[in-house]
Amino acid sequence: MANQNLNSGNPKVNLAYRLRKSKEEMRYQIISFSMMLFLTFIAFGAVGVGFSGWFTVPLIMLLASVQVIFQLFYFMHMSHKGHEAPTIFLFTGLLIGLITIWAFMKIVWW
C-alpha cells in the first residue's frame, strides 16, 4: 500500500485548498454543535415545564435521534466518503438493538 498524500502535483495549491476545506468543515461542526445544544435545551425544557408524558416522551426521543444523527454524521464524519462499511454495520447494530429493546418492553412482563 503506497502512502500517497491524496495530493495532485502542486503542493502549494493543494495545501491552500485543504486548509480552506477543513475550515469550512469546522464551521459545519460548530453549527451542528449549536444545533445539538439547542435540541438539548428543548428536551430539558419540555420536561422542566411538565407537559404530559404522551407529548414529551415522543418529542424527546425524536430530539435525541436527531442529535445522534448530528454526532454520527458530523462529529464522527459518517457523512464523508469511505464510511460505507461503518454506516452499514452501525445501523445494522442499531436495528438489532432496537428490536431487542422493543422485545424487552413488550414480552418480558405480561
Partner 1 sequence: MQTEEKMTFETWPALPEKATLEGKNKFLGFWLFLGGETVLFASLFATYLALKDKVPDNTHALAKDLYDLPLTFVATMLLLTSSLTSVYAIYQMKNFNHRKMMLWLGVTVALGLSFLCLEIYEFNHYVTEYNHKFTGSAFGSAFYTLVGFHGAHVIFGLVWIIALMVRNAKRGLNLYNAPKFYLASLYWHFIDVVWVFIFTVVYLMGMVG
Partner 2 sequence: MSTYAQKRGFGAVLWDYLTTVDHKKIGILYLLAGGFFFILGGLEAMFIRIQLIKPDNNFVSAGSFNEIMTMHGTTMIFLAAMPLLFGFMNAIVPLQIGARDVAFPFVNALGFWLFFFGGLFLNLSWFFGGAPDAGWTSYASLAIHSGGHGVDFYILGLQISGFGTLMAGINFLVTIINMRAPGMTYMRLPLFTWTTFVASALILFAFPPLTVGLTLLMFDRMFGANFFNVAAGGNTVIYEHLFWIFGHPEVYILILPAFGIFSEIFSIFSRKRLFGYSSMVFATVLIGFLGFMVWAHHMFTTGLGPIANAIFAVATMAIAVPTGIKIFNWLFTMWGGSIKFTTPMYWAVAFIPSFIMGGVTGIMLASAPMDYQYHDTYFVVAHFHYVIVGGVVFALIAGTHLYWPKIFGTMLSETLGKIEFWLFFIGFHLTFFIQHFLGLMGMPRRIFTFLPGQGLATGNLISSIGAFFMAAGVIVLLTNIVRTTVRNEKVGNDPWEDGRTLEWAISSPPPFYNFKQLPLVRGLDALWLEKMEGKKGMIPAEPIGDIHMPNSSFVPVVISFGFFVAAFGAMYQMEHKWMLSVLILGLLISFGAMIFRSVKDDHGYHIHKEDLIDDVDKGVKA
**Can you give the binding site for partner 1, defined by CB under 8 A?**
1-7, 11, 15, 18-19, 22, 25-26, 29-30, 33, 36-37, 40, 43-44, 47-48, 53, 56-57, 60-61, 63-64, 67-68, 71-72, 75-76, 82-83, 85-86, 89-90, 92-94, 96-98, 100-101, 103-105, 108-109
Q: What share of the chain is helix, strand, coil (3-state, %, to 5)?
A: 75, 0, 25
What grid cell was written down for 77? 464524519
Q: Residues 54, 55, 61, 65: is their CA dihedral positive or negative?
A: positive
Name the binder of 110 from partner 2, partner 1, none, CB < 5-8 A by kind. partner 2
